Structure 1
């Protein structure tokens, strides 16, 4: 494509851009990623789960609309929008406010997706579904928890995690399925490292210069458990964790985003303090989690030998 033709096509696309998207770009420029980093400085873990954060532009049609400690990701299209994760039970008003600050209408959210079935990421789904009218899609291994609102007894973190308002899952997904809106397609991979129902999502995002990147919303990979839980007593769980970590490492991953933004240093990367694009980020993220899990198994073996 010649430069002249490319510029003509780009001009046509800009002219055809819905007002809401153009407004979102202007709003994102005002709510720059540096503002996000400043607003959330020093807030991590539970301290930041419900702390309000300004929205920020990640790349292309992808936006951060979550809190300081928990990600909620808006992926936009001319045919409607997709929201991934909701934050804890009190985060819904913050997420909705951020969507509106970007100039988007929450009523245009068509699908709500999940990373994993814990209250800090799924606690506001019911309220967001009511506010948007969106449908919910989730992998089969997360469905029972989402529809009951009760943590699974099979979850190593059972006893540590709270329940949340139940929701109806309109579409049950299997590994490799995609949720589509027009040309937008988000593909799910079951990555059961952090919880039995963990899922990671990938999609393509392109900027105004037609530079396209694969964004990977890789689920939490930490192998946390209740104090009395021993992974060594659950070989089937060990196998699923290793499967999950392997799949995370293989995700198409130009830009890594994680449910806990601090786990991928997202705010510093958005503000230019670290590279945003790194095709090896998912592999490194998986390797670090795998090293932590290996250490945990070694500690359990040492305890058993005493």
Structure 2
């Protein structure tokens, strides 16, 4: 086990003896105020919700046989998750399946608590599953030096790129998006309504090329190549609706605000959004690599 994992395990045991809940204990300290800035839940379509605080979002899909939740957010965000689900007419114990975009604490910190409460099955890439079992990524993660450990998730169903999963009446396809982390995964599906027809929805993983500590992308050409493939995939992805954990990464925050303001036609349906996100992060990756090339070694 990673040293941070051992530290977390000791903290969890210590916390349990004090009577607090190790699965819901806040992990971000003074940063919680930033992470939990309020936002309203959005019903994108009758069976699709976009919920969570302003900076840490989740997708919720009503499959007719239970809920699919995409990402879990932070342990300290659970009250918001419960409240937003309730506003859409759901309960957390209706979550049967939990899909993970990446193993960072802001995406995965609350998984263990949600699983305990709902019995949901967790799905992730092999790399992400390994990190979830430790409660933190290893040194292969570009942001490893700045990550916060969270309650480990032992039971994870591993999915591969292009694998189609059937949940109730919804079929969701896993789309590998390595780069921000080695195991990042996006999720795509189609939703149809009598009023607005069908729409292809893509919930994207993060694509920002942040690093921490001494990590340099230039030292990992295989990840850079995978990163560029992820960007190219997203650029070519046919998507009518683009969502992401960090709404500002995909522009979903601006589209949601426009929807709430009554803008027509529906701003959530923006077919060029996937290409725009891909182009944005291709430019930022190039800039990151240029900085690394210019920096003294």
Normalized against structure 2, the TM-score is what?
0.82
Specify the structure having the higher radius of gyration (Cα).
1
Q: SS at the partner of 1:185? A: strand
Give aligned pairs, total.
261
Say whether residues 1:92 and 2:71 are aligned partners.
no
Say whether residues 1:141 and 2:133 are aligned partners.
no
- Aligned twin of 1:194: 180
Aligned 1:155-304 pairs, distance under 5 A: 155-209=141-195, 211-272=197-258, 275-304=267-296
- The CA deviation at 1:46 is 6.8
Normalized against structure 1, the TM-score is what?
0.80
- The CA deviation at 1:110 is 1.0
- Aligned twin of 1:57: 43
Runs of 4 or more consecutive aligned structure 1 residues displaced over 6 Å after TM superposition: none
RMSD between superposed Cα atoms in Å:
1.9
**What are structure 1's unaligned runs of at least 5 residues?**
1-44
Aligned mates of 2:230, 2:275 — CA distance in 1 = 12
Aligned mates of 2:81, 2:227 — CA distance in 1 = 31
Q: SS at the partner of 1:146? A: helix
Asked whether the 8 Å contact 1:135–1:170 carries over to 2, the reply is yes
Say whether residues 1:121 and 2:102 are aligned partners.
no
Q: Note the alpha carbon deviations across 1:66-98, whole angstroms, 9 max, x for none.
A: 111111111002111100111112112221221
Q: Note the alpha carbon deviations across 1:106-144, whole angstroms, 9 max, x for none.
A: 222110111111001100111111111111111112111
Q: Note the alpha carbon deviations across 1:156-193, whole angstroms, 9 max, x for none.
A: 11111111111133421000112212320111111012
Aligned mates of 2:257, 2:286 — CA distance in 1 = 33
- Decide which moves more: 257-266 or 212-221: 257-266
Aligned mates of 1:97, 1:51 — CA distance in 2 = 14
Say whether residues 1:131 and 2:123 are aligned partners.
no
Asked whether the 8 Å contact 1:48–1:67 carries over to 2, the reply is no
- The CA deviation at 1:227 is 4.2
Q: Note the alpha carbon deviations across 1:208-227, whole angstroms, 9 max, x for none.
A: 32511011111111000014
Q: SS at the partner of 1:91? A: helix
Q: SS at the partner of 1:252? A: coil
Aligned mates of 1:169, 1:187 — CA distance in 2 = 20
Aligned mates of 1:216, 1:103 — CA distance in 2 = 23
Aligned mates of 2:88, 2:269 — CA distance in 1 = 23
